[in-house]
Structure 1
Amino acid sequence: MWRIAIVDDERHVLQGMKRVIPWDELQAEWAWEALNGADGLEMTRLSQPDVIITDIYMPEMNGLDMIERIRQEGYNGKIIILSGYSDFEHARQALRYQVSDYVSKPISVPTLKAILTKVINELSEEEESRLRRLELEQTMVQYKPFIEKEWVRSAAIGTLERNRDGAAYLPEPYTYWTDCSHVTLGIDLVRKDWARTLSVSDWNLFRFAIGNIACEVARQGFPNMEYTELHSTRALLVLHPPSGAGQQEGMTQSLRGLGIQLIDSIKSCLKLEVRIGIGRFKEAWTDIPYSTDEAFQAIELKQERLSPGYELYRYPAEIRTEQPDAAPLLPAKFLYKLAGAVKASQELEAVQLISEYITELKASKDLITKDYVQLLGSELWGIVTYSLYESGLAVEELFSGDQIAKELMSLSEPDQLTEWLSGKIGAIIHDRQWKGSSKHRQIVDFMTRYIHEHYAEDVTLADLSDMVYISRNHLSIIFKNITGETFNTYLTRVRIEKARELLLERKMLVYEVAERVGYKNIPYFSTLFKKITGQNPTELIK
């Protein structure tokens, strides 16, 4: 109900207004009345109505002075002046105080009704706008972690939008980057055939676990750091040691130790093998993408191994002459964009990226042998298939491994590779298994990332339903169709996986771990833990 107050020194006017205003029709109610501006000011301070109708000439304080004071004190409601005097100067002042209407007495009932209807409609529109803005602000708060993570990823691979002056924007949480050095560690999961047998949810769970381990290990020596997933089997640690750290002798040893610890921890906890590459130090944060490319090129080049028995490499100070048939060094920015285009079913974008990359390759490389073309084709096909696999599509159901191998062996020219790969991507995107479901896959990708960020909170399917504007029942079906399991089952497995990692560190008691991952009921947590892992939580901390 909208609340209307009247300030007038004539009692018969107050009584008459009460009687003629169509309260029910306007969905309004009487707020209060006052006989002069001073009382009106005091009443407004005590109880702010939505609309104030006021006279001008009144004892103690006139209407315009009252309006000036309540505006100065922050009153934002609507004001209607109803006066027996028509004065240009008064009208000018009224405009300055944002008065909605200035009407001369006497006023007819239809005119009063029309003015109040107009003012209340304005109030309704403003309220709707305020609620939409509030909803948007709440949505932005919910999405802020994802926006920040996307920004970090863009900063790391070089896809940031630039301002008109060519400068890149640095958000508030990352302004400290201007005072640091920067170095990246590329993490590349060694591809194994058994990985293709995993469900989408299992694959997401492995990536979640790798991210947890990488962050836990890295923060011990580098508190200022970010972790971001790139595509398929690749992820990145961006470290920010003190400025000039690249010149310090001990920093290389620290990075070497971090790399070894990452490889050992991931192998011990997850039975997975990773390769680590270390890029060069950069003083400007806008040069981080160069360090990213260097980190992954270090893995491919394998020219400077930092520790025997470990797939741990540093980008060499001088690159030895590249062999004509050496493995291609693919830019992280190109690979990320290609993987994203394929997952989003953006055929034209994917084909254009491949065409532009091959064109640049031909312009920069004097000799492109048949073996190089086939190696490049194999690498790009691997990126495409793993990107699709992340979304739940097994490419083997469309093309057999033998067929792909045979077709790759027939390629000898870069343009042939462009045509072959473009054709394959088109066939996949237009296949019935894939067509029409890319939006669902993007929604499920958002849901899994949200779970990974908020597993310790009271996360419900209803919350996510509100975020993506899809009914809860339909969203539940979409999630299960893509991942093969229910939303609650996946949430539980994420929590238990995080609990297992915390228990293995042996730094916390069982009840502390349970609370850390979102469980207040310790017996229930223990039951779930044993059901999923086959062990009691107490067994892991002995």
Structure 2
Amino acid sequence: MIRAIIIDDDLTTLDGLSASVPWQRYNIELCGTGCNGREGLELIERHAPQLILTDIYMPVMDGIEMLRQLRADGNEAEVIILSGYEDFKYAQSAVKLRVADYLSKPASLMEIEAVLASVSARIQTVQQDAEAEQELRELWELHQPMTRKLLLKGMLESHFTQSPFFEKACRQLGLSFEDQVFTVVLLEYGIPRSRPQVKRSDLAIYSYAVGNMIEEMSQASKEVLLADLAPHMVALIVCMPRHLRPSTLLQRVKYVIGQYTEQIKTYLKLEVWAAASQPVYSIHELAAAYAKTVDLIAGRKYIDRYWLTDEAKDDAASGAASMELPRLTEDYQRLVRHLVDGQLELAERQVEELGRSLGQHEGLTVQSLRNAIVELIGMLTVALYEKGIQLEDIPMPTHWHEDLERIHHVHDYLDYVGELTTSAGAALAARGRHKHQKTVDFMKRYVQEHYSEELTLDDIAEKVYLTRNYLSQLFKEVTGENYNSYITRVRMEKAKEMMLSGKYKLYEVAIRVGYKNNAYFSQQFKKYTGKSPSEYS
């Protein structure tokens, strides 16, 4: 309800307006009345009305002075002047003080109601706009960390920096990459051979600690951006002023690498390898620089014009160990990413790809298969932990340590990974439903309000500053239904209501539910209901 007060020194006017005007018809609640501007200010402080009806000429304090004080305090309530006072200067003052309307006494009830209807509609529109804006602000606050994460990770992908999302997200996050030079830095870490008591599977716990450490350090630095945080690997983008000399850039990058690697080595006692790309002077070149840096660190050797550190005592041995199943590690990273993104179908395909990858390796042993599962468990444990899920919470027939004993063949391995993928995917989906429900509710409501228009997922993505693909995955994860299928369902249900009402012709129904082509609407309607529009109505 819209709260309103009346200020007038004429008691007849106060009583008449209070009793005669059907306030509720215009969604207005009359909170109080006063006889002069001072009483008006007290009522305004007490009730915070959105609508004020006031006379101009009153004792103690007139209406214009009351409005001046209100506006000086930042009060934006709508004001209707009800006065027989015809002074031109007062009328000018009313305009300057943003008065919604002016009615000369005596005004008829019909005139008063017409003004109230207009002002009430305007207030409700402003309230609705403010609520919608507040909702978008809340969604932005909710999505801001994820938007920043998507942005920085996307900068390492080809063509991402040329996408509309990148430009809009940078603007919303207040990020600018003008006049800067960029270097990609990769840090890969592992458990040193000097600590045989630490199991390989324990690396998942260390990965969580590394993640916290790197995030804290990058947040405290203006020139280092955390682009990606994956099990075993960290990707950083070092941004520096374009005017610096190449030798200065190299020194600065070495200093950054030294800071980060030293923290990991000192506090976590892990072995760290670091690689840095050549400086690039355009943000659009970052993806290519990242790809070269990945190749560099995978090679575990010095390459001309690149800089790599490897403080392992036995380069050949550690290189061979880390390269034992290189393609399998990449497959694992994709598998975990698909699970976290809620893309269960892609995760299942990735399991099939794992089978093909293993088939290309000669001399596989039972122990190598079991070690490969331990590596997957480590990566998955980190991903689940970041989502607030413990590995032990995932329902499996037996404990995963016991399951290792039944791995004797590639088929056993694939069966185990398939079971683990299904269970982990279900746990992640269940966890994500509640977290993203508010966003999905907004998407549904947007469709309900705009189903008669040409709807695309890009419209909503632009409002909440998330990528189109991420929103599509999120909607399917929470609802179990594709976004386009949901739009069709809403439109068809609305069409059924209209046809049953008998008020609209077929072409009118089609237009009102967002279809410009009548034949295409009929085709979609029959596909949805099993009947043609003529048969249904």
Smaller-chain TM-score bracket: 0.5 to 0.7
What are the equivalent positions in structure 2 for 1:320-399 lying under 5 Å apart? 328=326, 338-351=335-348, 369-371=360-362, 384-390=376-382, 391=384, 392-393=390-391, 397-398=399-400
- Cα distance in 1 for partners of 2:219, 2:137 equals 29
Aligned to 1:137: 137
Change (3 A) 1:107 1:214: closer
Change (3 A) 1:261 1:59: closer
- Cα distance in 2 for partners of 1:308, 1:49 equals 65
Question: For the Cα contact (< 8 Å) 2:56–2:64, is it kept in 1?
Answer: no
What are the equivalent positions in structure 2 for 1:166-245 lying under 5 Å apart? 170-171=170-171, 176-190=176-190, 194=199, 196-197=201-202, 204-212=208-216, 224-243=223-242
CA drift at 1:231: 2.0
Pairing 1:69–2:96 present:
yes
Residue 26 of structure 1 aligns with an amino acid whose one-letter code is: E
CA drift at 1:285: 1.0
- Cα distance in 2 for partners of 1:287, 1:336 equals 24
Q: After superposition, what is the alpha-carbon deviation per residue over 1:391-433, rounded to whole angstroms, capped at 9, x for unaligned?
A: 132699358446557318x9xxxxxxxxx86x665432433x7
CA drift at 1:436: 4.4
Q: After superposition, what is the alpha-carbon deviation per residue over 1:134-179, rounded to whole angstroms, capped at 9, x for unaligned?
A: 3542553465345324322222345847546997864376755221
Identical aligned residues as a percent: 13
Change (3 A) 1:253 1:42: closer
> How many residues are paired up?
379
SS in 1 for 2:273: strand
CA drift at 1:354: 7.5
Scaled by the length of structure 1, the TM-score of the pair is: 0.53
- Cα distance in 2 for partners of 1:293, 1:354 equals 24
Aligned to 2:54: 33
Aligned to 1:272: 270
Aligned to 2:3: 2
Question: For the Cα contact (< 8 Å) 1:213–1:266, is it kept in 2?
Answer: no
Residue 150 of structure 1 aligns with an amino acid whose one-letter code is: L
SS in 2 for 1:156: coil
Question: For the Cα contact (< 8 Å) 2:186–2:236, is it kept in 1?
Answer: yes
Q: After superposition, what is the alpha-carbon deviation per residue over 1:298-320, rounded to whole angstroms, capped at 9, x for unaligned?
A: 1211231745634999xxxxxxx
- Cα distance in 2 for partners of 1:122, 1:28 equals 20
Unpaired runs of 5+ residues, structure 2, are 34-39, 41-52, 193-197, 316-322, 385-389, 437-537
Change (3 A) 1:378 1:213: farther
CA drift at 1:441: 6.5
Change (3 A) 1:39 1:228: same
Residue 239 of structure 1 aligns with an amino acid whose one-letter code is: V
Question: For the Cα contact (< 8 Å) 2:204–2:379, is it kept in 1?
Answer: no
Question: For the Cα contact (< 8 Å) 1:393–1:434, is it kept in 2?
Answer: no
Q: After superposition, what is the alpha-carbon deviation per residue over 1:23-73, rounded to whole angstroms, capped at 9, x for unaligned?
A: 7982532347324699544332223584433358741138975654333xx
What are the equivalent positions in structure 2 for 1:458-497 lying under 5 Å apart? none
What are the equivalent positions in structure 2 for 1:302-321 lying under 5 Å apart? 302-304=300-302, 306=308, 309-310=311-312
Question: For the Cα contact (< 8 Å) 1:300–1:327, is it kept in 2?
Answer: no
Change (3 A) 1:176 1:121: closer
Residue 130 of structure 2 aligns with an amino acid whose one-letter code is: R
Question: For the Cα contact (< 8 Å) 2:80–2:103, is it kept in 1?
Answer: yes
Pairing 1:46–2:48 present:
no
CA drift at 1:17: 2.3
